[in-house]
Structure 1
Amino acid sequence: MGTPMIIAGDVGGTKTYLAAFDPATQGFDPLVERRYQTASYPSAGALLKAFADETQLAPKRTVLGVPGPVHQLPVRAVNLPWLIDPSEISAVLNNTDVHLLNDLQATSYGTLVLEPDDLCPLNEGQRDPKGNIAVIAAGTGLGEGGLCWAEGRYAAIASEGGHATFGPSSPLEVELWRFLNERYGHVSWERVLSGQGLAAIYDFLCERHPDRADTSLASETEQPDRADAIARAGLESHSALAVTALDLFALLYGREAGNLALKLMSSGGVFVGGGIAPKILTKLRDGRFMEGFVDKGRMGEPLAAIPVHIVLNDKTALLGAAYWGTQV
């Protein structure tokens, strides 16, 4: 096909989504879309070449959301053995313009084009149409970012806030911090709010209450999907400690989302993305998340006025990369 196209991508540690969009349509329905196992390719260039060979597209611009800081090139990806080099990608795509966004920048832009069915409200609030927007996303890691209104449109803010130091707020959380500090040294919010973080919270509770540890769950959690197993056990009340772990996870997730909302004064709303939130939706909706969110002393009332939504669309970062490619 000879029509100028934009290739947009969401590069993840496990899977990568690539899609082609036609800017002339002014819509965000992909012309073609592919999903790849990221580890099956030795480099980002090799993966993009496979997509181009399969689709026979001729893009004028390629925009990728990638895991890690993008202020220095090439980008050393987090959770991937890649150096992502725009010049390498450009060479395999016939010298197309290549642009890299931090994955949370891409996710942030993606929230601007989501449909109502892509969202689940946790707090309706009152949205300022030009107010700052906060985006937090727990999955393999913890991403944080946002959007600010400038010169008539939103611009995404890059951040590595998930690596900021975890701050406990109760005696139980202090015990959790000590447990994680012995395991990791520095305890970031990502050590708590991620798949590994949920598993670590469960381990902490098992050490604290060995008589209540569920041996059948312990056997199951030896599998690669350990966090999923703990989440299922908690949601289905199969394990008392898994229920407690999930309760604490939801409370802490809300607390850090509230921290981010305060730092950005996100009167435009808070979006909770990432792979974990849709899987534990019923837990996030039971009040614990919002309890942590507004637990800010004198600032609790302003936070209670901020809209908070769970993002259900797992292509949000892909859509955000496409949005950036058509707008910038």
Structure 2
Amino acid sequence: MANGRPWLVADIGGTNARFGWVDDGGAVDQIHKLAAADYAGPAEAVQAYLVLVQQALGAAYRPPRRAAFALATALDGDEVMLTNSHWRFSRAALQAALGLDVLLLLNDFEALALSLPRLGPTQWRVFGAPQPQPRGTLAVIGPGTGLGVGGVTQTALGWVALPGEGGHATLAPADDFESALLQHVRGRFEHVSAERLLSGIGLPELHDAVAAVLGQPAGAPLAAEAIVERALAGGDAVCERTIDAFCALLGGFAGNVALTLGARGGVYIGGGIVPRLGERFFGSRFRERFEAKGRFRAYLEPIPTALITDTLAALSGAALAIEQLET
């Protein structure tokens, strides 16, 4: 097993766990998605995945000795509790159960950030600036169920992830309409974070605020998926304005992340919401608001912004985490 391969990598969320295999070629393959609800925990899901790999490889199969799992939760100590899943486990116990020499656990946006240096043009779609460059510092934001934020910076020892909880930073308005939106939301919440409006859990709150500021009846509460569908279908002015406000606010937030991290190599957008918006996103004010930072407009104008189109990118980030242990 050259370089301790094969390696096992995983991207584990509240609903699904995606597993991949890294053999001597270095690429992630043998990718399978398993439903978390079908398994008592990660050990059982891994064993089911390894059966699939063994069936595919036959006599060439060797058990993995190193693994890296990207997890949709905050990590602190040995015990792991996934935010939106029944899976609860001990890192040490899982490593022993799987017979691994090394088990790395990463926050999902830490892994996604580590994937950025190796993403190529077939894995992203650029919005308004030069192609991203794998140099210096890169950042990623991801409106999904919540709002993830991460970064990665180039050092003499390799790429180092910069995990954090930037989605909970205070959201800032840029015009009178956005100020009115945030004022409405502050009537319900003491603190209006970026995640409060720029996420799957936040879109319904943003929709309610847009309706109130426009003087329109909010009607029955809508889930994020319904808001997106109605906005894209047309004919629902409140949903359309909600998505327009979402894209503009997200652009301003992305610009803040770029300034905070000094992400001159690019800011990437992950998560599940923006890809569903299609051309409406690329016709939005996102890039305009990304650059609208007064005296620092010239600093931001050359910074690329790109939508990640590869839903398996975090697996390659997990693989890089193992690879850098080898060097």
Structure 1: distance between partners of 2:193 and 2:42 = 28
Q: Does residue 242 of structure 1 match 2:244?
A: no
Match of 1:161 in 2: 166
Kindly state the Cα deviation for residue 277 of structure 1 after the two structures are TM-superposed: 1.7
Unaligned runs of 5+ in 2: 55-61
In structure 2, distance between residues paired with 1:233 and 1:20: 39
Match for 2:280 among 266, 278, 283? Answer: 283
Report the CA distance between 1:137 and its aligned residue: 0.8
- 1:179 aligns with one of 184, 193, 212: 184
Q: Distance in 2 between matches of 1:52 and 1:128?
A: 36
- Taking the aligned partners of 1:264 and 1:209, their CA distance within structure 2 comes to 36
Among candidates 304, 307, 327, match of residue 307 of structure 1:
304
- For residues 22-52 of structure 1, what are the alpha-carbon distances to aligned partners after superposition, in whole Å with 9 as ceiling and x for unaligned? 1x213x241x121112233332233223323
Report the identity percentage: 32
- 2:203 corresponds to: 198
**How many equivalent residue pairs?**
317
Cross-structure match for 1:34: 32
CA drift at 1:54:
4.0
Asked if 1:145 corresponds to 2:150, the answer is yes
Give the TM-score of the pair, scaled to structure 2.
0.88
The aligned residue for residue 6 of structure 1 is 7
Q: Shift of residue 258 of structure 1?
A: 0.5
Maintained 8 Å contact 1:165/1:187: yes
The whole-number CA distance in structure 2 between the counterparts of 1:75 and 1:188 is 25
| Counterparts in 2 of 1:293 and 1:80: CA distance versus 1, 3 Å | same
State the SS of the aligned residue for 2:280. Answer: helix
- Counterpart residue type for residue 129 of structure 2: E
CA contact (8 A) 1:14 1:38 kept: yes
* Match in the other structure for 1:25: 25
> C-alpha separation between the residues in 1 aligned to 2:216 and 2:142?
34
The structure 2 residue matched to 1:89, chosen from 90, 94, 97, is 94
Q: Which residue of structure 2 aligns with residue 51 of structure 1?
A: 49
1:57-136 pair list within 5 angstroms: 58-125=63-130, 130-136=135-141
* Displacement after TM superposition at 1:105 (Å): 1.1
Matched AA of 2:172: G
* Cα offsets for 1:52-95 (capped at 9, x unmatched): 34434511111001122324332333233443422122122124
Contact 1:250–1:283 at 8 Å: present in 2 too?
no
Alignment RMSD: 2.4
Structure 1: how far apart are the matches of 2:167 and 2:11?
A: 19
Query: Partner of 2:249 in structure 1?
Result: 252
Match of 1:298 among 268, 291, 295: 295
Shift of 1:128: 6.1
* Higher RCO, Cα 8 Å, sep 6+: 1
CA contact (8 A) 2:10 2:19 kept: yes
Give distance in 1, aligned partners of 2:279 and 2:138.
Answer: 24
Q: Which residue of structure 2 aligns with residue 264 of structure 1?
A: 261
- Determine helix, strand or coil for the equivalent of 1:154: strand
Unaligned runs of 5+ in 1: none
SS of the residue 1:257 aligns to: helix
Quick one: structure 1 residues 317 and 291, their matched pair in 2 at CA, closer, same or farther if it must change by over 3 Å? Answer: same
Q: What is aligned with 2:227?
A: 230
The CA distance in 2 between the partners of 1:271 and 1:65, in whole Å, is: 18
